[in-house]
Amino acid sequence: EAYLEPTFAALRSIPSLAWVPLLLLWLGIDETSKIVLIAIGAFFPVYVNVVAAIRNIDRKLVEVGRIYGFSRLQLVRRILLPAALPGLFTGLRSGMSLAWMFLVAAELIAATKGLGYLLSDGRETSRPDIVLAAIIVLALLGKLSDGLLAMLERRWLNWRDTFTGQGASD
């Protein structure tokens, strides 16, 4: 963390779209540059949430694991990973929504197909119906991908005893 955090903090402060000219020069105007742009845009929310989740693990849990004689691997598998999973899923859901945004941005730059291209084409041809259709498809895809992650989160974290917002009494 001492080595990576300063570098990641500096990279995180660069607007993701600022990478576009460099990616186009290095990787060309094809799918690779678009995928790398999406990965850059989606990486940092996941990273920040995972680091925060690990930092917020109760020290007492780790101490209990050590009392039980857990090896480092057992400590990671049985205490650290389960305790960090909620933060990981929060980061994944944030990263996924940003990935959709960067998909559109990447396709707006230089694409001949895709939702970003439809948005651009609809604007250039003064066709709000195409623009609205692309926006609706993006909303549906975003909701579907978030719903899938939420379902995985519920399944993998069903052991938690957390407040669900239902049945609360005053």
pLDDT tens column, 138-154: 999 999 999 999 999 98
> Binning pLDDT at 50, 70 and 90, where does residue 63 land?
very high
Report the length, in residues, of the chain.
Answer: 170
Worst-scoring range by mean pLDDT, 43-47, 77-81, 113-117, 122-126? 113-117
138 in Cβ contact with 104 (< 8 Å): yes
Q: Which tops the pLDDT comparison, 101 or 161?
A: 101
Short-list 4, 12, 10, 37, CA closest to 23:
37
Short-list 77, 55, 56, CA closest to 65:
77
72 in Cβ contact with 82 (< 8 Å): no
| Residue 112 scores a pLDDT above 80 | no
| Secondary structure letter of residue 77 according to DSSP | I
> Binning pLDDT at 50, 70 and 90, where does residue 130 land?
very high
| Residue 109 scores a pLDDT above 80 | no
| Integer Rg of the chain from CA | 21
> Binning pLDDT at 50, 70 and 90, where does residue 170 land?
very low
Q: Chain-wide mean pLDDT for the chain?
A: 88
